[in-house]
Amino acid sequence: MPALEFRGVTKRFGSLTANDAVSLVIEPGEVLALLGENGAGKTTLMNILFGHYQADQGEILVDGKPLAPGSTQAAINAGVGMVHQHFTLAANLTVLENIMLGTEGLWSWRQNTKAARDKIAAMARDYGLQVDPDALVGDISVGERQRVEILKALYRDARILILDEPTAVLTPQEADSLFATLKSLTEKGLAVIFISHKLHEILAVSDRVAVLRRGAMVGSVVTKDADKAQLAEMMVGRTVTRPKPEPMQAGKAILEISRLTTSGDSAAALADVSLTVHAHEIIGIAGVSGNGQQALADVLCGLASGFSGTVQLHGAPLPAGRPRAIVNAGVGRIPEDRHARGVVGDMEIWENLISEDLRSDAVSRWGIVDRGRATARAEKQIAEFDVRCEGPDAETKLLSGGNMQKLILARALSREPSFILANQPVRGLDEGAIAYVQERLLEARARGAGILLISEDLDELMALSDRIAVLSHGRLSEALPSEARSIAEIGLMMAGQDGGEKAA
């Protein structure tokens, strides 16, 4: 009997069909990879399984028994456990409290912490998932947090474990250790669903691959018979062609960072970072998020001014802490979080397109916004960057993720900046938008811009970067040509085991 079965699950949001008659079977002891682009409907499907949404049609069976729709509790009780991409943990509470939440009757007058500790200790032994139950979740590493998430599921006797993009926050070595854990879980008879869009991981870890495209199940293949190209084509529906950089001779130095050190939270603060970005060059910054990427981006974007060391643009000091002056000095900025930093969703598209030079003569005079000129410019940018919208007056929050990112590109790149900070520029985008963003970055490189690309996706970094440096615990390694490094080597450096050498 299959451990879990989806039968013709359909979910619509207005005119969008997120899941179109999806059927899928998972056997006990098997790792099933669920592959699909961003927006293919993987997360929606899992949300339906977990009761966060209700399917419009179809049903879900666990161990042959239908699962009550719309109830998280029912899914948990049936033995389904989920490790979400964004951890569902409270940083201010202890590991023990996070694991115990919801495991006892809410109206019980006391908690049985003794029994809980014993059970956690036993599980830690059996599966090699060591954690300190009394540590605050906010104080432990990302890898440990993921362990807590898995323990949470196992603590509730999960027999079907779902992991949503579990390696996004891990170093390659941590990912390997996670794969080992999954192996030992399936040996004990658990069924594992592994959601990802990274092909090499899927090939490494799964027994079978099911592919979702635009909400529909394209098919499923046995992993050992599959190869990357085939899976990629199944996922995207056509041959995937991501842009490839032309070989190019690096030009003069554009951005020079020397001994940059920021204050604050130890792991996330920069310690003595030095780096030079040249014209015609993309430098990739690899690393697990939370190791100083934010601090580096904040300094270069003008959001932080409290640092020591020097940052020079074309030989002149970067105007620290002044975003507009930095933009005027020729920096194009693509922020990590489109919604929180990139755009004001409640304002119109033309308004978001002028936000960086609001007080310049181009769009305002004597403190009055020149709407005519701003709209005319916006129309040009919308056309040039292929932002699909009803026009410059449309509300920005109605744009799709890809179009929102194009809007941000339009704002940042249409001034032809000589230095570009691209922080996770393709996160959450579909293949078409990813290719578009990467092409635009490569165009800028060809034009002579220097680009700093911060990403958690090593494949992306390897494909685009001329040189790669690794950020770990706030320290930046020397930037070496990307072909000179292996993924394993970079992984070790991400874990901080080999970050010794630094650029002079």
Partner 1 sequence: MSDIFEILLTAGFWAATIRIVSPLIFGTLGELICERAGVLNLGIEGIMTVGAMSGWMWVYQGGGLWGGVLFAACLGALFGLLHAGFTVHLGLSQHVTGIGITLFASALSYFVSRMLLPSATTPPKIEPFQELPIPVLSDLPIIGEALFSQSPLTYLAILAVPVTWYVLYRTPLGLAVRMAGENPVAVEAQGINVLAVRTGAVAVGSALMAIGGAFITMSWFDAFYFGMINGRGWICVALVIFASWRPGKALVGALLFAGLEALQVRAQQSAGAFIPYQFFLALPYVMSILAMVVMARKAKYPHALLVPFRRGERV
Partner 2 sequence: MIIIEPRASVSLFRAAMAPVWAVAAALVLCSVLIMWTGTSVPTAYVLLFKGAFGSSFAINETLTRSIPLIFTGLAVAVAFRAKFYNIGAEGQLYAGALAATFFGTGLITLPAVLMIPLLMLVGAIAGGLLLIIPVLLKTRLKVDEVVTTLLLNFVVLLVVSYLLEGPWKDPMSLGWPQAASIVDEGVLPALLAKGRLHFGLIIAVLMAVAMWAIMRFTVLGYEIRAVGFNAGAAEFSGIRVNRTVIITALISGGLAGMAGVSETAGLKGYLTLDLSPGFGYTGIAVAMLAQLSPLGVIPAAIFLSAVYVGADAMSRAVNIPSYIADVLVGVSVLAVLVSVMFSQFLVRWRS
Residues that bind partner 2 (CB under 8 A): 13-14, 54, 70, 301-303, 322-324, 327, 333, 335, 337, 340-347, 351, 355-356, 358-359, 364, 367-369, 371, 398
Residue 162 tokens, joined: 């779902």
**Least distance between partner 2 and beta carbon 415 (Å):** 14
Q: Which residue intervals of 11-112 are DSSP H helices?
A: 42-49, 72-77, 95-100
How far apart (Å, rounded) are the C-alpha atoms in residues 242 and 438? Answer: 8
Instruction: For the sheet with 273-278, list strands across it.
Output: 273-278, 253-262, 307-313, 316-317
Query: Can you tell me which of 16, 68, 101, 115 binds partner 1, judged by CB under 8 A?
Result: 101
Residue 29 tokens, joined: 């002891």
**Least distance between partner 2 and beta carbon 324 (Å):** 4
52 binds partner 1 (CB under 8 A): yes
Query: Can you tell me which of 1, 14, 15, 105 binds partner 1, judged by CB under 8 A?
Result: 105
**Least distance between partner 1 and beta carbon 238 (Å):** 31
Rounded to a whole number of angstroms, the distance between the first and last alpha carbons of the chain is 62
Calculate the dihedral angle through the C-alpha atoms of 307, 310, 315, 320, rounding to the nearest 10 degrees: 10
**Least distance between partner 1 and beta carbon 318 (Å):** 30
Helices 172-187 and 113-127, interaxial angle, to 10°?
100
Q: Which of partner 1, partner 2, none is residue 367 near (CB under 5 to 8 Å by kind)? A: partner 2
299 binds partner 1 (CB under 8 A): no
Q: Which of partner 2, partner 1, none is residue 86 near (CB under 5 to 8 Å by kind)? A: partner 1
Calculate the dihedral angle through the C-alpha atoms of 176, 180, 182, 185, rounding to the nearest 10 degrees: -170
Query: Can you tell me which of 15, 86, 368, 500 binds partner 1, judged by CB under 8 A?
Result: 86
395, β-bridge pairs: 348
**Secondary structure of 345-367 in HEC code, one letter for each residue:** CCCEHHHHHCHHHCCCCCCEECC
Residue 170 tokens, joined: 């891990």
224 binds partner 1 (CB under 8 A): no
Residue 158 tokens, joined: 């999960």
Compute the 3-state secondary structure of the chain and give helix, strand, coil in percent, each to the nearest 5: 35, 25, 40
**Least distance between partner 2 and beta carbon 342 (Å):** 6
Query: Can you tell me which of 1, 15, 92, 239 binds partner 1, judged by CB under 8 A?
Result: 92
Query: Can you tell me which of 17, 103, 141, 258 binds partner 1, judged by CB under 8 A?
Result: 103
**Least distance between partner 1 and beta carbon 12 (Å):** 14
Strand boundaries in 68-189, DSSP class E: 80-83, 160-164
Closest to partner 2 by CB, 109 vs 366, is: 366
**Least distance between partner 1 and beta carbon 257 (Å):** 32
Instruction: Give me the residues that bind partner 1 (CB under 8 A), please.
Output: 43, 47, 50, 52-53, 71-73, 75-77, 82, 84, 86, 88-93, 97-98, 100-111, 152
